Structure 1
């Protein structure tokens, strides 16, 4: 009997709402507001029709909306964390590339002079900055380690015939 009463109440609410919507529609003059009122009335009618379905499945609409908003907030935080991690990775690789290019440039600048004057060749150059996460610039360099090894340079001789 309780289900029959709920069904009767539901149908009564729908009929009363449609009558109220029709009266409101007749009272409004033909204007640009009429299409908006029809939209709102349609949405409210859909809500009235769907409400018993939610009650059948015992779905709390407020709880459902809260869970949706919480999951979207968590998703936003995950996206922000992912972007931040990618940013750090890009900065680290950019920093490593800059340090490598500085070492290559230094080696190119002194390679010939070291070979000519001292007979040594550069094996590797390691540049260390003051703070590991700082951008590598000339002002931020803490130390430069250069590993050299003795090399014998073959100097071509001029032969007289």
Structure 2
């Protein structure tokens, strides 16, 4: 009993020296109150540990802590694994969609187009936007074949893709008129032109 009491007093002294050293090496004093709170909680645990040891409850306390910590850690790891899996599936989906769009373009006789994908916001309704950048102007038949192929083969509606034509500009998403009424003065800003 005497050795346990001596060991307990040594632990308290060591803890006090260590706590003081930690407080003195803090680079920013803003965190001092949080460190003091944490050290105070550890000190309380250190002070009452002989009481638990005397009643034989220290192992139960430690076992309970390990059990709950283990459960929390497993839940965190499960959530992290699900997030990684979801990100992997999204990336695989985007890559497969780009491949299918390239196949549709090849079927229409377009081999020099750049195809890319990006996620659109908002966060809860994220969808994939396919961007197609053409190097040359397409015939009307090619445009219709591409639009039909994107809808039929890829399941893409007109608001899910964007075709950039070197002659006509953007088509699909982003091809919305600017604010204002073009008939109110010839400009899209709504400001009448000076004659």
| Bigger proportion of residues as helix | 1
Q: Which has the larger radius of gyration?
A: 1
TM-score by length of 2: 0.37
Q: Which has the higher contact order (CA 8 A, sep 6+)?
A: 1
TM-score by length of 1: 0.44
